[in-house]
Structure 1
Amino acid sequence: MRTHFCGLIDESMIGQTVTLCGWADVARDLGGLCFIDLRDHEGIVQVVAEPSAGTAGNAEVIATAAKVGYEDCLRITGTVRRRESVNTRIRTGQVEVVATEIDVLNKAEPLPFHAHENPGEDIRLEYRYLDLRTPEMQRRMRTRTRLVQSLRRWLDARGFQDIETPILTKATPEGARDFLVPARMHPGEFYALPQSPQLFKQILMMAGFDRYYQIARCFRDEALRADRQLEFTQLDIEFAWVEERDVQDTVEAMVREVFREVIDVELGEFPRMTYAEAMRRYGSDKPDLRIEMELVDIADLVKACEFKVFTDWANHEDGRVVALRAPGAASLSRKQIDELGAHAAKYGAKGVAWMKVEDPGKGREGINSPIAKFLDDATLTAIVDATGAQAGDLLLFGAATHSVASDFMGALRLKLGRDLGLVQEGWKPLWVTDFPMFEWDEEASRYVALHHPFTAPAVDDVEDLKANARTAVSRGYDMVLNGNEIGGGSIRIHRSSMQSAVFELLGIGAEEAQAKFGFLLDALKYGAPPHGGIAFGIDRIAALMAGTESIRDVIPFPKTTGGQCLMTGAPSPIADEQLAEVHVAVRPKA
């Protein structure tokens, strides 16, 4: 139907006859001379419909071109020639195609939005097929395709086996809610869609496959945001006979090579940072190192001050009092500072104190702050010295439990970094290691796994783990890039006794563990090798490579933040007859 792609026409084809197919991106009728910018997935080329040289010929082609409208679907045959006026903005800007035949394959009705407009995300998602036609979305999706191709080539060349694992599987707790599928042939029983292939890839290591990978579809029924979807794609990798550095060094080399190949970026080396250090310095387990601001602990400086919020938390067993220096931000208005407080409140803050350092050399007289009256001169000077504050800087303070203060001050650090233009250009990768094994859930009065229940603890002794569960460190690790966790993994538990002990600490009794994970516990008894792995978020990496903040921009048919597909109308009600076939009854809405 066509001989060439629109976006690949170049000077080497001058004088050739070509047949192109695509959409009319722009159509201009200049009265006997018509121009059409014809677009396909490779790009745009200018088509000219003009009278034949020295005659009034080609009238039918000109008449057809004059009626072409935006997004009409066309097939055009013509001759390539050099353009008189070069267009440097497009790849084909040196040439044009002189049309000898124009077929309108499908006339487009008036569109709900123009490709060169920004109609809002809801409209884009409702008419996703039109949105995907736009050059920007085509570019993003091609970046994603190149990413996946590059990953596959790298892994295939190094002996990893691409093995598919089940989509219909058993419901297991991995941190998020499962999507459940009723089993028609087993009334009252359900499959679950996998949150990840975690248990299957571990069992593949026990089965002797040594090196596995899969581009896996995963499903989690959880709240959505810019970097999360109900269904997503991850690169799953698992190794047998490995320790942490074996996994990390291998995939680090892979990621460097893939970024070099796909977007011509050199990532360089990856520094390593423990979870404890990341939280202390940046208030985040996925710190964006492009922002140089760091949190400074000042609890020791304010334990005896008269500001009760500080003293209470400074003397609390699990308290943290922390300061953040925002360079040059003393010019912010009171309204802008209040807006920062409102932002921090989203992350658990009950208030954010502040201090403008107008002239540190003047002591108290150089400080503008509503809390200065509660701090003596020595304390004010110590805080300024500890934070390295200079004239014109703004200091923000947080006081709460260690985790809450870290969370909201870390969020403020990111917001200020962006608002003040302090985010450096380039790429800043790192490994975050030595995560806590457990978190204590006050509401449930039990431990929960920080990564997942199959992560190995740093200690190899069951009794040691039980005695020191609150402070236990795991063998988990995350790869972080520009403040985004792009990969997370761990060395796995490979002994049945340790796995049972972890289940017990998580409040999963022996009977429940056998019912939910009996197959895993059994497999661990028969010579399971040490093994570990990692999973990378394909959507997140593609978004970073494409230069967009939302993974919805690199997923062909994403859901909204409300979990809906605006194009198809999913989710939707199911007829009673179809529900009866799978033995399901729906309760009326409350």
Structure 2
Amino acid sequence: MYRTHNNGELRSEHINETVTLSGWVQKTRNKGFMIWVDLRDRYGITQLIFDEERTTQEVMKIASELGREFVIQVTGKVIERESKNPNMPTGDIEILVSELILLNESLTPPFTIEDETDGGEDVRMKYRYLDIRRNPVRENLVFRHTVTMAVRNYLSGKNFVEVETPYLIKSTPEGARDFVVPSRMNEGQFYALPQSPQTFKQLLMVGGMDRYFQIVKCFRDEDLRADRQPEFTQIDCEMAFVEQEDILQTFEGLTRHLLKEIKGVEIGEFPRMTYDDAMRTYGNDKPDIRFGMKFGELNEVAQHRNFNVFNAAELVVGIAVPGANSFTRKEIDKLIDWVKRPQIGALGMVYCRCNEDGTYKSSVDKFYDQEDLARWAEATGAQPGDLICVLSGDTNKVRAQLSALRMELAERLGLRKPDEFAPLWVVDFPLLEWDEETERFHAMHHPFTSPKPGQMELLRTQPGDVKANAYDLVLNGNEIGGGSIRIHDKEIQSKMFDYLGFSEEEAKAQFGFLMDAFQYGAPPHGGIAFGLDRLVAILGGQETIRDFIAFPKNNAGRDVMIDAPAPIDEAQLQELNLQLNL
């Protein structure tokens, strides 16, 4: 037996008991005649004491040679600690060691394994197995487990059945690029790793499973961003014989359950907003509604003067920043520089101070009088003490620019509080979006999404106006889940493929198996998928998903710990009938 107790559970009531503990040496303090060792495992730290008057010379010698992260086993008596540590759960006791076994030595770690470490991110990712020994990382992984179990328990209680679907599937042309896997036994042919189990969960509905879920790895070979991983985890769900309202109620319930069980937060009915309203009011389809700063469109009150910048713009739009009239001119200039960065792309920013005495002072006073500026304040909802920030330009671009500015200001003003939770349903997305590169419409979600009832015929005449029977769940400005009611009729699905530019042969080659299945009594069905990594990070009060993944990749999609991806040898290439062009 390596241990009778873990290093976090011994208390005063265990005094005079003989115990056996195992773990890693956190640190040692050697006074010569007395040695103290902090012994750590997943559960906590227990102080060990070696005393030359009460400990054998052999044990004292081994103790004097212990280094950081050595793995040891000790047996001894629990005694009362002379200098108690109220900051440690085990701070009232220590172990007077009688036996000490060295289980394994350790090199000196490349960084300090403590809550506040001296290791940079790159070093900690290279030695991730050591980083996991640190409390913050380990607690994040335990937290992820807690969330996952709460999800499983809730869905199981709602008659959902967890079903595993294949990882080696067929590549499809829609969506992001696939990771492909060569088949040794089928020369020149390839599997793809799933971007989602979409078609399989629909087939499970055809198979009569009625309610399916899966906590599943998915893969996308996309250009990487700071907080995007090439492999990620979804809570994937599908339901039969449902309409949109059934799904919204079920998964609003799941989210409410998680907020209550994990965070102790009770949330009422989730607000709902159409995609068009979200874009018009917040400039994006996943607005953070923990704070205000709603967009005010200013065309009618700003394009009647001789200010050509506004007059030439498709849209003039502004936000009222609460209390920001206190910003200095230097701070405002920095904001203007911020929106002009290439990542944002604005040409500049007009501002207007809303003074406490009810007067206004703008950067364009040459063109606008007090009455004009008062109308700006009315349109943006500005109050005395606020600052109005105004951008102008092409509608889609300027909305995205102002949305980015809104989020940046909220961050600077401390309005994005991690302990506040503001969920929101966004509904009625466009079914299709125009791709300038290919000069045709693509499915905004995927080609299996059903149009809103009664809008199928609009696809021929006004495809850009057709709304999808789709919905996203947004939490604190992040999309945490999205889904739709699916097409379940073969003829309608065939028409959809046709509208999306698939030939009959292409549709049959790519999705013939699904079309065939629809001929055997496919029920009405729909579903949703949550991004587990993002959900856990938000519930954990953090923005970075990497902190909640055991072995994440870096920003370049590399696993620096195992050095992957990596070349394979020539023999493997030949076996797979592959040849590299060097």
Would you call these one fold, judging by a TM-score over 0.5? yes
Question: 1:37 & 1:56 partners in 2: Cα distance?
Answer: 19
One of 295, 312, 315 as aligned partner of 1:320: 315
Q: Deviations over 1:454-481 (max 9, x none)?
A: 1111034532333231111111111111
SS at match of 2:85: coil
Equivalent position of 2:536 in the other structure: 542
Equivalent position of 1:13 in the other structure: 14
Question: 1:164 & 1:372 partners in 2: Cα distance?
Answer: 64
1:37 CA drift (Å): 1.5
Alignment of 1:381 onto 2:395: no
Equivalent position of 2:192 in the other structure: 192
Question: 1:339 & 1:562 partners in 2: Cα distance?
Answer: 30
Structure 2 counterparts to residues 410-421 of structure 1, below 5 A: 410-421=403-414
> 2:492 corresponds to which letter in structure 1?
M
One of 78, 84, 87 as aligned partner of 2:85: 87
> 1:282 corresponds to which letter in structure 2?
Y
Question: 1:320 & 1:285 partners in 2: Cα distance?
Answer: 18
Alignment of 1:266 onto 2:249: no
Alignment of 1:563 onto 2:564: no
Alignment of 1:182 onto 2:177: no
1:67 CA drift (Å): 2.3
> 1:274 corresponds to which letter in structure 2?
T
Q: Deviations over 1:21-51 (max 9, x none)?
A: 1111121112322221111111212222224
1:182 CA drift (Å): 0.9
Equivalent position of 2:479 in the other structure: 485
1:242 CA drift (Å): 0.4
Question: 2:392 & 2:501 partners in 1: Cα distance?
Answer: 32
SS at match of 1:422: coil
Cα 1:368–1:226 change in 2 (3 A) is same
Q: Deviations over 1:391-449 (max 9, x none)?
A: 44322222233322221211111110011222344211121111111111122211122
> 1:396 corresponds to which letter in structure 2?
C
1:135 CA drift (Å): 1.0
Question: 2:55 & 2:526 partners in 1: Cα distance?
Answer: 72
CA contact (8 A) 1:306 1:375 kept: no
> 1:530 corresponds to which letter in structure 2?
P
One of 52, 55, 59 as aligned partner of 1:61: 59
- After superposition, the CA RMSD in angstroms is 2.1
Equivalent position of 1:316 in the other structure: none
- Aligned residue pairs total 577
Question: 1:498 & 1:335 partners in 2: Cα distance?
Answer: 59
Equivalent position of 1:296 in the other structure: 296
Equivalent position of 2:75 in the other structure: 77
Question: 1:187 & 1:111 partners in 2: Cα distance?
Answer: 47
Equivalent position of 2:257 in the other structure: 257
Alignment of 1:496 onto 2:475: no
Cα 1:362–1:242 change in 2 (3 A) is closer
1:200 CA drift (Å): 0.5
SS at match of 2:205: helix
Equivalent position of 2:311 in the other structure: 311
1:348 CA drift (Å): 4.7
Deviation larger for 304-313 or 213-222 = 304-313
Alignment of 1:352 onto 2:367: no
Question: 1:460 & 1:385 partners in 2: Cα distance?
Answer: 39
Alignment of 1:514 onto 2:515: no
* TM-score, reference length from structure 2: 0.94
Equivalent position of 1:582 in the other structure: 576
Question: 1:312 & 1:125 partners in 2: Cα distance?
Answer: 50
Structure 2, unmatched stretches of 5+, are none
Q: Deviations over 1:150-179 (max 9, x none)?
A: 211222233211111110101113421100
Deviation larger for 474-483 or 560-569 = 474-483
Deviation larger for 343-352 or 86-95 = 343-352
1:346 CA drift (Å): 4.6
Question: 1:530 & 1:76 partners in 2: Cα distance?
Answer: 63
Equivalent position of 1:280 in the other structure: 280
> 1:493 corresponds to which letter in structure 2?
I
Question: 1:505 & 1:352 partners in 2: Cα distance?
Answer: 41
> 2:97 corresponds to which letter in structure 1?
A
CA contact (8 A) 2:426 2:473 kept: yes
CA contact (8 A) 1:143 1:545 kept: no
Q: Deviations over 1:512-563 (max 9, x none)?
A: 1111111122222332111011111111122123332211111111111101
Question: 1:334 & 1:583 partners in 2: Cα distance?
Answer: 65
Structure 1, unmatched stretches of 5+, are 314-318
CA contact (8 A) 1:491 1:532 kept: yes
> 2:182 corresponds to which letter in structure 1?
P
CA contact (8 A) 1:144 1:554 kept: yes
Q: Deviations over 1:271-311 (max 9, x none)?
A: 21221222222222111122222211112212333222322
> 2:237 corresponds to which letter in structure 1?
I
Question: 2:370 & 2:292 partners in 1: Cα distance?
Answer: 28
* TM-score, reference length from structure 1: 0.93
